[in-house]
Amino acid sequence: MDVRALLRKEALTVRRNAGLFVVVLVLLPAMLTGVTGVYERSIPEDVPVGVVPADDNTSETELAVTRTGVDSFATPVAYDTRAAARDGLAREEVYLVVAVPPDLGTEGADVEFTVVTDRTMVPFEEPANLSVAALDRRLDDALVSDVTVTHDRIGDQRVLTAYLIPVCLVAFVLVYGLVFVPYQVRSERLVLDRLQTTSRLETVLATKIAFYGALTIVPIAVAALVASWMGFDIATLSVFSFVSLILTFVLVAAVGLTVLFAMRLRRLALFANVGLLFALLSLSAVVYPVGFFSPTRKAIARTLPTHYATVTTRSAMLRDAPMALYADYLLWVAGAAVLALGGLVLALGYYRRRQ
């Protein structure tokens, strides 16, 4: 019977491409459903919150008391000065900063806490309001003084769409570098033999990365045009955003090509890269701020260069902050890109040896 014969043929195809089907039918669904665990709660419970003295009269005891109050709904992070705490806010180390006034232990004294949040973090707006209210309630209960909490919102007012533009560009660069460029190289796999008779594979791939990296300017410019058309005032075309996105591209393109050559240009490598893409998108906290996630997920995100690439791109476009403030983030992304390029050289050596 025709159908039986055709089904048998499909079964044989699965058997001959077992690795591919394991990735598509087992690993990808597992990864996708696993990603849902990222959104384990709608209101963050372990948000890093900066605690800083409001002025020189604030004592260490008062800071400790405040940290204890914060600890019940967030993770306190100590800063010495307000400027350092605001920098921490801009670098997304913390999502609220609590400025602690003196005289907390004076019964009946009016004390005013100031909670600073960044309007750039649009998804965090509501959780921030809830956190401020919780802080107000807890401090008022815990202290003998008369507590008021003032909410100071810094940065330009943004809407979710504007917040998502840098997010989309980072996501695009991840897809472009991790999937599209390896796909392009694989589609020319036959010609690589000929190229090897005249050039080095390293040169061929370096040219590819440089060319497609330069082409990244096009989607950035398109995003700038769309943002402008939508009436958003965001710095899409700044040097800072170019540096951040192109470094990110070099990093993920090198990783994608490393996987491709380590797997000897097999089709399976493209699916492995798609899996890697999902993993990076979810674990790097590209869409939601890392403050939303559990301490474990936060720790994972903060080891990934793609997380820092997201923060720097977002800051470049949405915050009026100097690039120097993110120098260590950019260095980590650049260092990871260099490591990935080293991995690519090793993968090429392996590929050549196995020929």
CA separation for the pair 305, 269 (Å, rounded) = 22
- Check residue 346 for interaction with another protein (CB under 8 A): no
Stretch touching another protein by CB under 8 A, among 17-25, 152-160, 194-202, 252-260: 194-202
Q: Which of 245, 223, 219 is nearest to 232 (CA)?
A: 223
Closer to another protein by CB, 162 or 270: give it.
270
CA separation for the pair 125, 129 (Å, rounded) = 6
* Cα-based distances in Å from 134 to 74, 137, 258: 10, 5, 48
Closer to another protein by CB, 8 or 189: give it.
189
Strands 74-78 and 110-118: unpaired
Stretch touching another protein by CB under 8 A, among 111-119, 144-152, 190-198, 271-279: 190-198
Q: Measured from the CB of residue 22, what is the shortest distance to another protein in angstroms? A: 22
Q: Measured from the CB of residue 300, what is the shortest distance to another protein in angstroms? A: 38
- Check residue 353 for interaction with another protein (CB under 8 A): yes
- Check residue 191 for interaction with another protein (CB under 8 A): yes
- Give the phi and the psi of residue 205 in degrees, each rounded to 5: -75, -35
Q: What is the DSSP string of 298-331?
A: HHHHTT-HHHHHHHHHHHHHHS---GGGGHHHHH
Closer to another protein by CB, 205 or 243: give it.
205
Q: Measured from the CB of residue 183, what is the shortest distance to another protein in angstroms? A: 13
- Check residue 16 for interaction with another protein (CB under 8 A): no
Closer to another protein by CB, 106 or 196: give it.
196
Q: Measured from the CB of residue 194, what is the shortest distance to another protein in angstroms? A: 4
Q: Measured from the CB of residue 278, what is the shortest distance to another protein in angstroms? A: 29
Q: Measured from the CB of residue 191, what is the shortest distance to another protein in angstroms? A: 5
- Check residue 26 for interaction with another protein (CB under 8 A): no
Are 236 and 161 within 8 A, CB to CB?
no
Closer to another protein by CB, 9 or 354: give it.
354
Closer to another protein by CB, 197 or 296: give it.
197
CA separation for the pair 236, 242 (Å, rounded) = 8
Please count the residues of this chain forming the interface with another protein, following the rule CB under 8 A: 14
Interface map 159-188 toward another protein (x if CB under 8 A): ----------------------------xx
CA separation for the pair 355, 353 (Å, rounded) = 6
177 is written with which tokens? 């570098």
CA separation for the pair 251, 339 (Å, rounded) = 9
Q: Measured from the CB of residue 189, what is the shortest distance to another protein in angstroms? A: 9
Residue among 61, 72, 150, 196 that touches another protein (CB under 8 A): 196
CA 290 to chain centre: 8
E strand residue ranges, 119-239: 146-154
Closer to another protein by CB, 41 or 194: give it.
194
Q: Which of 90, 23, 78 is nearest to 319 (CA)?
A: 90
The partner residues of 99 in beta bridges, in order of sequence, read 52, 114
Residue among 190, 229, 231, 296 that touches another protein (CB under 8 A): 190
* Cα-based distances in Å from 178 to 162, 170, 231, 248: 25, 12, 31, 10
Interface map 199-238 toward another protein (x if CB under 8 A): x---------------------------------------
Are 87 and 52 within 8 A, CB to CB?
no
Identify the helix (H) or strand (E) that includes residue 155: none
Does the CA dihedral 305-310-315-316 come out positive or negative?
Answer: positive
Closer to another protein by CB, 57 or 199: give it.
199
* Contact footprint for another protein (CB under 8 A): 187-188, 190-191, 193-199, 352-353, 355
